[in-house]
Amino acid sequence: MAATLAQALTGISGILVTPYDQPGDIAPRRLLPVIDRALGAGVHMPVVNGNTGEFYALTTDEACTMVREVVAMVGGRAPVLAGAGRGIRDAVRLAKVSAEAGAAALMVHQPPDPFVAPRGIVDYLKALEDASGGLPMMLYLRNDAIGTAAIASLCALPGVKGVKWATPNPQRLAEAKAACDPEIVWVGGLAEVWAPTFYAVGARGFTSGLINVWPERSMAIHAALEGGNYPEANALIAGMKVFEDIRAEEMAGTNVTGVKSALIAQGLDCGPTRPPSAWPLTKAQSERLNRFLSDNNLL
């Protein structure tokens, strides 16, 4: 699994949505056709309990159910990356359940607590590693204000195998990469639009919510970047930018709304989003989304 995991980390980490039924409860099986389509297109690593999966809107019980169900639906076709985070006891429980379910690695959300010490994050990561029985860990870094030295101290932990870099600061990414073990995998964590910029400073692979809706386009962008064809990658990204622009609106409060609205339009109803995410799209946003889907034969 180690070689397979290393290869998958440099591919596309496809962040799956969390489906809900009409009463608003999680409905994991609605995700099966989305998973099948993504894996059929070649997506390297499905991710459960990520931000496109509304991780912070789920209870810990729900997150545990989602990781069990997603690993079962993937059925060994690809390694599954499982998000873990929140308070230490919830995170430890989720790490343990993820390992028992058969996840290949943990994606550790950066603690959003207002009082976070870098050395406290070290203890946090050690606790998750112990709880999971030593699953490899990917750090999901959304705030680089902790500084390069702190990032290097986190990456020095034996269980940390990579970083999903989700801050629009390629210079800091380059600095952090240079300060850490060259075996650490640095993954672009701001999806397709930022992938060429991060590739240019040494990242490999990228996260994607687009894979829920149009995995073939994500795969084409990845192939272009792996081949060093930046003009092709940029042209492909320009062709899906409308979708990402919609998701970035309202302080990114329509991020998951755009994905779930597109799935509904495609006949793959995964339900609405939960507050504080925006739901539904405005009339103007819906019109732009429908034009995008129609123009690209995605309906």
- In Å, the largest CA–CA distance within the chain is 50
| pLDDT, tens digit only, all 299 positions of the chain | 455 888 899 999 999 999 999 999 999 999 999 999 999 999 999 999 999 999 999 999 999 999 999 999 999 999 999 999 999 999 999 999 999 999 999 999 999 888 999 999 999 999 999 999 999 999 999 999 999 999 999 999 999 999 999 999 999 999 999 999 999 999 999 999 999 999 999 999 999 999 999 999 999 999 999 999 999 999 999 999 999 999 999 999 999 999 999 999 999 999 999 999 999 999 999 999 999 999 999 99
Residues belonging to the active site = 140, 164
Q: Is the four-CA dihedral 34, 36, 41, 44 of positive or negative sign?
A: positive
Domains annotated on the chain, with CATH = 5-214 (3.20.20.70)
**What angle is formed at CA 60 by the lines to CA 59 and CA 65, rounded to 5 degrees?**
100
pTM over 0.95: yes
- Annotated binding-site residue? 52: yes
How would you label 176-188 residue by residue, b for 16+ Cβ within 10 Å and e otherwise?
bbeebeeebbbbb
